[in-house]
Chain A
């Protein structure tokens, strides 16, 4: 049995990494989706998607805030805006370009299914704060899932063109989905202590959920099992640097600026 103090020491770094992964995922998702702001296919959907983007940014703020407890002297903004590329632990899927609307929706859908399963499990975490954060975010994520699934239905059952675009998006994104479940440094310790859910279990739950929906829309999961490596380890796609340039511009140009 670990004493409370030694237990705390043991999980501090792993939990910090894990929180960064949650926060970075949502920050980058939000930043990417916000690129659609003012350019959505029609007004209502423009608002719908930017709502989702804002939900993601709100979630990232919760997780960064919690993470600051494990890193003295760093503020939420420091973590979000003043780290370098290799220090971000988001999955590569989140930074992947929006592409057309089918790809944007599919990416948001993949991520929503992941978050839904993750937060449902995090609600049972032994940690003191994660269950509450997960519960709050889960409500938002359930809607993201509903909305993106409605759109999948539209794309899959719409015209030949819309279906082709969705199928192309599946082709483009599939190899990046595996990275969602890659573990951060020390994550296995957290799993053992039941602070976070087991990533393999998450992965199979996610895959089952996707299979079920894909069957409904008669969509195929790509056969090639290859998955890109490097997510959660600070290894990124070529697209990531450009996101950071835009995201960090204000804090780099005007250090400490606030509004």
Chain B
């Protein structure tokens, strides 16, 4: 199994799109191309063997994520954004 990451436009990050099965890296890339970019979804593809994905699944969720709940100051929402800056 391979995890597929698709970049939708040059410069944007690769986002997880799903998985494919394939025997080799080359075939995984081709299968990802055929399954996930046939409707013009992509400009670049990464495939990664699923076994190399390290997940937080099964770890202590509360200790991992809850402490961020009350730290509003970490969001940069107190700044004035100049009018000319778009896409923030």
Contacts and interface: CB of A to CB of B under 8 A. Distances in A.
B34 A146 contact: no
Contacts of A146: 30
A44 B23 contact: no
Chain A interface mostly helix, strand, loop or mixed?
helix
A154 B21 contact: no
Given A42-B21, A44-B20, A150 B34 contact: no
Interface string A43-54: 111011001000
Interface residues of A, number: 12
A165 interface: no
A44 B34 contact: yes
Interface residues of B, number: 13
Interface in A31-86: 42-45, 47-48, 51
A147 interface: yes
Q: Looking at A51, A150, A154, which has the most chain B CB atoms within 10 Å of its CB?
A: A150
Interface string B15-38: 000001111101100110111001
B41 to A, nearest CB: 14
Contacts of B22: 44
B76 to A, nearest CB: 42
Nearest to B2: A44
A130 B45 CA distance: 32
A44 B21 CA distance: 7
Contact of A48 (B21, B23, B31): B31
Interface of B: 20-24, 26-27, 30-31, 33-35, 38
Given A44-B31, A47-B31, A143-B33, 10 more contacts: A43-B21, A43-B35, A44-B21, A44-B22, A48-B30, A48-B34, A48-B35, A146-B30, A150-B24, A154-B23
